Amino acid sequence: MVFRVSVVDFEGDYAVSVARALQMVDWRPEVGASYLVKPNMLNSKTAQEGVTSDPGMVGALVRLLREKSCRTFVGDSPGNAYPGKARSVFKSTGMMDAVLDSGGEFVDFEEQPPVIVDVGGILVHSVPFSRHVLENRIINVPKLKTHIQTVMTGAVKNLAFGCIQGASKSKLHSIGNTPEKMAKAITDVYAYLRSKVEVNLMDAIVCMDGNGPSYGKPRVLSKILASKDALALDIVAFSMAGVDPSSVPYVREGMERGLGPSSVDEIEILGDPLPNCKFRLPSTFVASLSLKFAPWLSPFGPRVSIDKKLCTRCGECAGICPENAIVIRNYPEIETSKCIRCYACYEVCEFNAVKVRKLAILL
C-alpha cells in the first residue's frame, strides 16, 4: 500500500494553501456531513510562538467545509482541562474568532460528561472521550513540535491526547511512565481513533524545536502538510525536521503494529520540496544514543524544579501531576520521590516557571 503526504509552501494565502494540500491527497468533504476539526490547543500561547495550531489554517478549513454545507465543530481539550479552560485558550490565541467568523461552532469537550469507551489496548483499556469525538468525522489539525517526553509530537499524539477528556490525560502519563510505555499508551488510543479520522492537516508554518511542546524556540518552516494517514504524516514531518522517525518511540510502535507505513519508502511525497533542516532536540534527549535508549533513561532523566520568581501559584502544575507529587504551599513543592519525570507540569505551565535541567548522563 502506498501512503500519500502532500507538502505545500505557505506564502500567505491560507485558503489556497489548505485547499491545495487537501486536493493533492485526494480528499474533499462530503456534502452535508458533520465534522469535528481537532486543532492542538495546548495552552494560551499562540501559533506564532510555535505552540498552538494556526487560526488562519483552521478558519480556511472551516470555510471550505461550510461551502459544502457541512456542520463544523471545532474543539479540543487543553492540558489539565476543566470546564471553561478550552474557551479561554481559544479566545486568547485568536482561535475563537477564527472559528466563529468562518461559520464554525466551538465546542468545549469538558462541558458534557464523557463517553467511556473500551479501546482494547495493550496498556490502555477504558478511555473517556468527548461525545463530539465519537459522533463526528474527525479532521486532525496538529502542530509540528518537539516534545520533552516523546521527542516529537504531531498528528498521532494530537489525536491520542487531545481527544481524552480532563484529568484522564494525567492517568495516561501515569500509565506511560517510561518512553516505551508512553509509546504503547499513545498507540493504544490512536489505534482506536484511527478509523474515525478522514484527513490530517499539519501546521508547519511556525513550528517549535528545543524544549517543546510549550517552551522551545519558534522555528519558521512556512509549510502545510496533509495526509489521510496520521502516522505517514508524522514520518514525513519528523524527517523534514531532521529527526529519524523510528527514533520517536510512538512512531516506532505504530510502525510495528502496522498502523500505517513501516518506512518512508512506502510514502509518496507530493507537492513542494522538503526543507533541509535539523531541529534541536529537547534537553531530555541530548544525543542520538539517548533516543535509542530512551526506554531505559527515564529513571536517570532530568528533574523539574520551580522558579519562584516566575511562578504565579496558579496550581496548574499540581492539577495535572498524575502522581500527586506537587503540593501547593506558599509555592509549588515537588516531592522528588514521587516524581516519574513525565514533565506534564512543564507542558501546562504558561509562565515558564517549571524548569527542566539537561540530561545528566550525556550519551
pLDDT (mean) for 175-191: 93
Report the helix count and the strand count for the chain, using DSSP H and E: 14, 16
pLDDT surpassing 70 at residue 301: no
pTM score above 0.85: yes
**Per-residue pLDDT tens over the stretch 276-290:** 999 999 988 755 444
* Full DSSP string of 315-326: -HHHHH-TT--E
Does residue 15 carry a pLDDT above 50? yes
Q: Residue 97 corresponds to which cell in the numbers above? A: 474568532
Closest CA to 348 of 181, 173, 188, 224: 173
Homologous superfamily (CATH) for 3-271: LarA, N-terminal domain (3.40.50.11440)
Asked whether residue 297 carries a pLDDT value surpassing 60, the answer given is no
Res 232: pLDDT: 98
- Of the candidate CATH numbers 3.40.220.10, 3.30.70.20, 3.30.230.10, 3.40.720.10, the domain formed by 288-356 belongs to 3.30.70.20
Q: pLDDT tens digits, residue range 107-159?
A: 999 998 999 999 999 999 999 999 999 999 999 999 999 999 899 999 999 99
Q: Give the model confidence (pLDDT) of 49-72 as tens digits.
A: 999 999 999 999 999 999 999 999
DSSP string, 98-137: HHHHTT-EEEEGGGS--EEEE---SS--EEEE-HHHHHSE
> Which range has the worst mean pLDDT, 13-27, 69-83, 270-284, 348-362?
348-362
Distance (Å, whole) CA 274 – CA 32: 35
Domain boundaries of the chain, sorted by first residue: 3-271, 288-356
CA gap 147, 50 in Å, rounded = 12
